[in-house]
Amino acid sequence: MDTYSNSPIEWTVTPFDIEPSLCAIEYTCDDVVRADGEAHSMGCDSFNFVGDLDELPANNKFSITVPESTYFDGSFPPGEYTIKIRGTTVKADTPRTAVVEFTLTLKDICNPPNTITPPLLYSDVVYTITTTVPDFGVGSWSIEPANCPFDFSATWTTLTPGNNPDTAITFDEGTDQFSVDYQFELNPID
């Protein structure tokens, strides 16, 4: 399993058994498929082989490096990939083949994201009743990984007779100002 770490993921191909044992086998990457059939761009050419795959057992490692960019551009979507390695007899009039499979699971890095951080808390606002409406905005949020999409939902408590208007409005005799308190919450939706 990998989370688009941009670090090599490595497998070792164990040489296939063949009788007689001195017969040569050529190894090739046969296919890369997804269990769910979703479109993707990962293919045999996405893997790096140490030497030629057909030189087993001397160079029997292969690897893939999956950067975050392949998540965000949709070329390697999250999911389970099956890599098929085929061994085929060499110098045989009727070649024989066998296939071994490896599984690579790419975890969705935005489900959930590592972190989502709200902006600094909003400060109290003194509003003079006019036709101009104050714009509080959503502030500057941060999310990691930075390209993960997210949206906002907002909730607030309006001033109605049912939710204690006597405590929602206060008057300061020293400044002759009224204050109206209400609760406003801005929540990310990842």
Q: Convert the pLDDT of each residue in 125-146 to its tens digit.
A: 666 666 676 666 667 788 888 8
Whether residue 96 sits in one domain with residue 25 = yes
What local confidence, expressed as pLDDT, does residue 12 receive? 80
**Which of 34-38, 82-86, 155-159 shows the lowest per-residue confidence on average (mean pLDDT)?**
155-159
| Residues 96-121, mean pLDDT to the nearest whole number | 87
Among 55, 86, 106, identify where a domain stops.
106
Distance CA 170, CA 35 (A): 63
What local confidence, expressed as pLDDT, does residue 150 receive? 81
Distance CA 107, CA 77 (A): 9
Flag whether 141 is in a domain. yes
Q: Quote the tokens at residue 109.
A: 């890095």
More confident position, 133 or 190: 133
User: Average pLDDT, whole number, for the chain?
Assistant: 78
Flag whether 69 is in a domain. yes
Whether residue 99 sits in one domain with residue 141 = no
Whether residue 40 sits in one domain with residue 80 = yes
Cβ of 85: how many Cβ atoms within 10 Å?
23
Flag whether 2 is in a domain. no
Whether residue 72 sits in one domain with residue 12 = yes
Work out how many domains the chain is built from and give that number: 2
Flag whether 1 is in a domain. no
Flag whether 99 is in a domain. yes
Whether residue 132 sits in one domain with residue 102 = no
| Residues 53-67, mean pLDDT to the nearest whole number | 72
Whether residue 21 sits in one domain with residue 90 = yes
Whether residue 78 sits in one domain with residue 138 = no
Q: Quote the tokens at residue 12.
A: 């070792």
What local confidence, expressed as pLDDT, does residue 162 receive? 55
Whether residue 102 sits in one domain with residue 12 = yes
Flag whether 154 is in a domain. yes
Whether residue 145 sits in one domain with residue 96 = no
Confidence of residue 186 (pLDDT cuts 50, 70, 90): low
Single pTM value for the model: 0.66
Distance CA 96, CA 88 (A): 6
Whether residue 91 sits in one domain with residue 23 = yes
For residue 15, the enclosing domain spans 8-106
Flag whether 12 is in a domain. yes
Asked if pLDDT for residue 120 goes beyond 90, the answer is no
Distance CA 63, CA 26 (A): 18
Whether residue 99 sits in one domain with residue 139 = no
What local confidence, expressed as pLDDT, does residue 180 receive? 63
